[in-house]
Amino acid sequence: MRYIRQFLIILFISFIGEMLNHFIPLPVPASIYGIVIMFVCLLTGIIKVEQVKETSKFLIEIMPLVFIPAAVGLINSWGLISEKWYMYVTVIFATTILVMAVSGLMTQFAIRYELRHNTNTEVTKDE
């Protein structure tokens, strides 16, 4: 029952994202709206991490299965893609490198921030 409740919370947030995508005339995917809403809800405490933790882990674990239909779609459209495959490969490599660089920089920033924050708290505790 706990997993169903957690899944329904995630599904409800996704539904709100779909509705925003439908009513707001911006070129923003519904999933981005959903992620932002979930982030704000978690940040403000409207939704506690424990309320979605187990189901979120499960969804992340099965994420590779979600890419199977996309791969089959690529195979079916190979006739269209084959003419300009080099462009697709270039974009894939460039965006992969960009995502790796941004992720690495953000991780370093988060670690440095956490170290500074923990150091400042420990100093004030000793005083």
Number of structural domains (the chain) is 2
pLDDT at 122 (0 to 100): 56
> 72 and 52, same structural domain?
no
Look up the domain containing 95 and give its range.
66-127
> 90 and 39, same structural domain?
no
> 41 and 2, same structural domain?
yes
What are the structure tokens assigned to 115, written together? 């170290």
**Of 66, 58, 13, 72, nearest in space to 39 by CA:** 13
CA dihedral angle for residue 12, residue 64, residue 28, residue 40, rounded to 10 degrees: 50
pLDDT at 120 (0 to 100): 65
pLDDT at 94 (0 to 100): 97
Is the pTM of the predicted complex or chain greater than 0.85?
no
> 1 and 57, same structural domain?
yes
- Residues of the chain with pLDDT > 70, as a percent, come to 94
Q: What is the mean pLDDT of residues 69-87?
A: 88
Q: How far is CA 58 from CA 54, 67, 96, 104, 123, in A?
A: 6, 16, 25, 25, 39
> 46 and 80, same structural domain?
no
Q: What is the mean pLDDT of residues 13-30?
A: 94
